[in-house]
Each structure stands twice: as structure tokens, then as C-alpha cells.
Amino acid sequence: MSAIKSAKSDLRKQMKLILGQLSSEEKDRQSRKLFKKLCAMPQFQQSKRVSLFLSTPQEINTLPILKHLFETKREVFVPTYKGSKMEMVKLLSMEEYENLPLTKWNIKQPNFDETKESALERGGLDLIILPGVAFTIDGKRLGHGMGYYDSFLNAYLKKYKKPHLIAVAFNEQIRDDIPTAENDVFVDLVLTGK
């Protein structure tokens, strides 16, 4: 195992412990503050086609963001995974979201084999809101280790101009530094409750 892989793995373990100590009240508080800040951002207000991850209990709650995107008539794309491949597919309504099946990770996700509009195949995106395990203020991002977002973004950037990349995180997820590899894509902004 390379030194970078090992360092990333160690940091993921450390972050799991840190996030495990956050109360659900504190997660809710930070999620609400972050949502207000996100809604005030020009990059968010001006975006028409937005990709948003569907959160787990260990992440910033993205459900209010999803509702807001539908209420403000944006086109919404969410991740779907199969094997090592991730696509961003169009979600049409909160009702459709409610009926999505759960994955083995307990995340709602459209069925990968269902025919849905893909952001990569048609029209691209204005904004991608990304998850992660840890971040630096200058845009380094540590994902969950599967490489889904980095692979998707590297493929995306060959076809379209770079959309705004905004990561959302708890205050506790900000680190001084994160080990990075060559294919890791940096984000433009890391948004926290702070």
C-alpha cells in the first residue's frame, strides 16, 4: 500500500471517530446553518442544473437543499452507483425521492439500470455539491475511498467546462492538510456552518 493510500486510510479512521462523537442535535444545528449560507451564495442562486448527494446520518443533511432545489424549479441530479462507476441522473420530484430504494449503505439511490437522463450525456451541470470525509480550506477533499467522485469529475471535465464544485461539511471535518494523489480533484469551496 502506498504511503498516500495509507495516510488517507488513517485519516478516514480518525474522522470516523470524530464524527461519531457529534450529537444528532449538533449535526442538525450545523446542517441548518450551512443550508442558510448555501442559499445566500450567488453560485447556488444562479445555478439551473445542480448535482446533489443524498446524505447519510454521518453527513450534512442535504434533504432541505433537495427540497429547496425543487421548490425553486431547478433541474436536480443525484448519484447512482454500480460497481466502480457513478453517474449523475435526473430526479424529478420529492415524491420520486421518497420512493427511491435504499442501497447496502442505507442511502436512497435511483436504480442504476433504470433509464434516466444523465448529466454526463446531456447538458452538463452548473453546480456539483460534494460529500467527503475531510477537507482543507484550500479545496483538498478526502472521499470515502471508492474514487467515485474523482472518476466522475475527471470524465466530466473531458466533456464540459468545470462547474462550481462546492463541498459541504461539518466544522469538525476541516483539517490543516490532507494527503492527495494525482487524480484527486480539488473543490472550489468548502462550506461549513462556520
CA dist list (Å): 82 to 52, 60, 129: 18, 24, 20
The CA distance from 24 to 100, in Å, is: 24
Q: Which residue has the higher pLDDT, 105 or 84?
A: 84
Q: What is the helix (H) or strand (E) element at residue 117, kind and residue range?
A: none
- Give the other-Cβ count within 10 Å of 79's Cβ: 22
Asked if residue 1 has pLDDT above 70, the reply is no
Residues above pLDDT 90, as percent of the chain: 78
Q: What tens digit of pLDDT does each residue of 37-89 get?
A: 999 999 999 999 999 999 998 999 999 999 999 999 999 999 998 888 899 99
Sign of torsion over alpha carbons 194, 173, 163, 29: negative
Cell of 18: 470524530
